């Protein structure tokens, strides 16, 4: 089962919101992976420009085609 404080919190939240318990022995590893994602997102803070209008991905694909 999840063994870090954050992983325990995440497991509790998942149980409350979704009604799903840790399903297997790999669950701690899977949640621990999210801790790395959280750290990566923290490092991003303020570095990625945010558009007030969410950028349309399909439009961006067309805009980025070969000239």
Contact flag: residue 46 with another protein (CB under 8 A): no
Identified binder of another protein from the candidate list 3, 5, 46, 63, rule CB under 8 A: 63
Residues 6+ apart with CB under 8 A from 46: none
Least separation in angstroms between CB 66 and another protein: 5
Distance of CA 63 to the CA centre of its chain: 27
33 touching another protein, by CB under 8 A? yes
Here's the x/- map for another protein, 2-21, by CB under 8 A: it reads as --------x--xx--xxxxx
Instruction: Please list, in sequence order, all residues whose beta carbon lies within 8 angstroms of the beta carbon of residue 10, skipping any fewer than 6 positions away.
Output: 2, 31, 34
């Amino acid at each position: 089962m999840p063994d870090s404080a954050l992983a325990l919190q995440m497991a509790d939240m998942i149980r409350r919101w979704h009604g799903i318990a840790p399903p297997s022995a790999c669950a701690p590893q899977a949640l621990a992976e999210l801790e790395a994602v959280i750290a990566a997102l923290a490092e991003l803070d303020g570095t990625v420009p945010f558009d007030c209008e969410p950028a349309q991905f399909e439009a961006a694909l067309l805009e980025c085609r070969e000239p």
